[in-house]
Amino acid sequence: MTDVMPAGERRQLAPPTVETGVFGWMRKNLFSSWGNGITTIVLIVVVAWILSNFLHWALFTATFDAKSGAECRGHGACWALIREKYRYIFFGSFPYEQHWRPLFAVIAMLAMLILSSDRRMWNKRLIAIWGIGSFITFLLMFGEISISISLILFMALAVGGLGMILRGSIAPPAELNGWRALAGIGAVGLVLRMVGVLPAWGLAIAPFSYVETGLWGGIPVTMILATYGLLFAFPFGILLALGRRSNLPLIKGLCVGFIELIRGVPLISLLIMASVMLPLFLPSGMNIDKFLRAQVAVILFAGAYIAEIIRGGLQSLPKGQFEAADAVGLNYVQKTTLIILPQALRVVIPPLINTFIGFFKDTSLVLIIGIFDFLNTANQALVDPNWAGFPGEVYLFAAFVYFCFCYSMSRYSKYLEIELNKGTRR
């Protein structure tokens, strides 16, 4: 009879050393066959040769301190150009002695984005974060802000109306009455303002000297166009996606026509239309800031692309989710905001972040209408004849800054995708 040792007394043998650790990983992934081994060795040699030449040019023979480009001739990289022009590259033609203002504006926007990436802030605090951060950003950039009574009343109407729609059937009576009162004050106030009963009162805040948008440039312009463009394009794209799936032929036709029209033309054409053609259709004496026109063009263009991404997420949901929401008695707004959209947005996180990254880089197209973003101010730094002839250093520096922003968005997308799909991953 075979002597069987109890399972608890069996000795567990360690795996062979050639199969574990660094050498085991290399053997499995890099040298698993003769062909893979030869390919690995060739690629290592090529990468080492490229890296050694790059380091020789970028570090070992580079010039870090020079008064002009002539002192860099005959050497490696001329990083002295970046040292000399970094303030213009980052802040453009903004008054030199007040560069601290766009610097703190960028810090405020980064703070908003970082706080918004924390899921614990996805509540009412997020509204306060963006309200305060936006106010600080534009106050620093403009130097003065005038808040009219019409804007205050419109915000009251919008916030009150949105509160009634989203919280109408689930809010306690006291909260619901508060939303109704806020919307009523806004509506009545706007009517009184239009008929001339209320004066054109406004609150002017002017702690700094005014700087027009034509002097803005560099990284603040890139961040403002991308951040606020996508901030407004996202809800606009959601409305377009829902409208495209509407059962009402008129709404569906308008949304489909808008999406196909905007997606069928390049962004440059919209920017030119906003800069050149739009002023021709405005009443005499009326002028809209060029920067605002570019911002609106970016919002419309991004909204059309986001709409198609979200529509794909909506179509991926099983029909049972819609039927279950109807079965518990939710109205259309509650069903969409509480059941449908959260699931659809979770599905389309990767393509959404990919679109965000693309539009962050596409802001460089605003040069066509005379707005200088980060890449264009970096390019303008080469116009100085004392530093002409070193485009590689400038573009590498700009590429590094773009990479930092885009890679951060990519990693956050990966984190968010894992966090929001923990309950559905297998």
What are the residue boundaries of the structural domains of the chain, listed by start? 229-426
Which tokens go with 331? 């109205």
Q: What is the mean pLDDT of the chain?
A: 85
Q: How confident is the model at residue 35 (pLDDT cuts 50, 70, 90)?
A: confident
Which tokens go with 344? 């659809």
Q: How far from chain centre, in Å, is Cα 272? A: 23
pLDDT above 70: residue 8: no
pLDDT above 80: residue 286: no
pLDDT of residue 301: 92
pLDDT tens across 82-118, in order?
999 999 999 999 999 999 999 999 999 999 999 998 8
pLDDT tens across 201-232, in order?
777 888 899 999 889 999 999 999 999 999 99
Type of residue numbered 398: A
Which tokens go with 300? 């419309």
Q: Mean per-residue pLDDT for 184-208? A: 82
Other C-beta atoms closer than 10 Å to the C-beta of 321 total 14
Q: How buried is 293 (Cβ within 10 angstroms: 0-12 exposed, 13-18 middle, 19+ buried)?
A: buried
pLDDT of residue 360: 92
Smallest CA-to-CA distance from 192 within 168, 157, 159, 158 is with: 157
Give the 3-state secondary structure of residue 160: helix
* Exposure of 221 in the CB half-sphere (CA atoms within 13 A): 33
Share of the chain above pLDDT 70, in %: 92
The answer to whether domain 229-426 has CATH 2.60.34.10 is no
C-beta separation of 377 from 92 below 8 A? yes
Q: Mean per-residue pLDDT for 304-325? A: 88
pLDDT above 70: residue 424: no
Segment (H or E) for 259: helix 249-263
Of the listed ranges 135-144, 155-164, 177-186, the one predicted with least confidence: 155-164
Q: How buried is 231 (Cβ within 10 angstroms: 0-12 exposed, 13-18 middle, 19+ buried)?
A: middle
Alpha helices, DSSP H, located in 264-289: 267-272, 278-281
* Exposure of 386 in the CB half-sphere (CA atoms within 13 A): 8
Residue position matching structure tokens 């972040």: 353
Residues pairing with 204 in the sheet: 146
Using CA atoms, how far apart are residues 272 and 131, in angstroms rounded to an integer? 31
pLDDT tens across 269-279, in order?
888 888 877 77
Residue position matching structure tokens 């996202």: 234
pLDDT of residue 15: 63
pLDDT of residue 50: 95
**Structure-model confidence comparison of residues 98 and 35, the more confident one:** 98
pLDDT of residue 216: 92
Give the 3-state secondary structure of residue 326: helix
Q: At what angle do helices 80-91 and 391-420 cross, to 10 degrees?
A: 60
pLDDT of residue 346: 86
pLDDT of residue 144: 87
pLDDT above 90: residue 171: no
C-beta separation of 366 from 269 below 8 A? no
pLDDT of residue 53: 93
Of the listed ranges 3-17, 171-185, 286-300, 390-404, the one predicted with least confidence: 3-17
Using CA atoms, how far apart are residues 68 and 55, in angstroms rounded to an integer? 23
**Structure-model confidence comparison of residues 315 and 32, the more confident one:** 315
pLDDT of residue 95: 93
Q: How confident is the model at residue 10 (pLDDT cuts 50, 70, 90)?
A: low
C-beta separation of 226 from 299 below 8 A? no
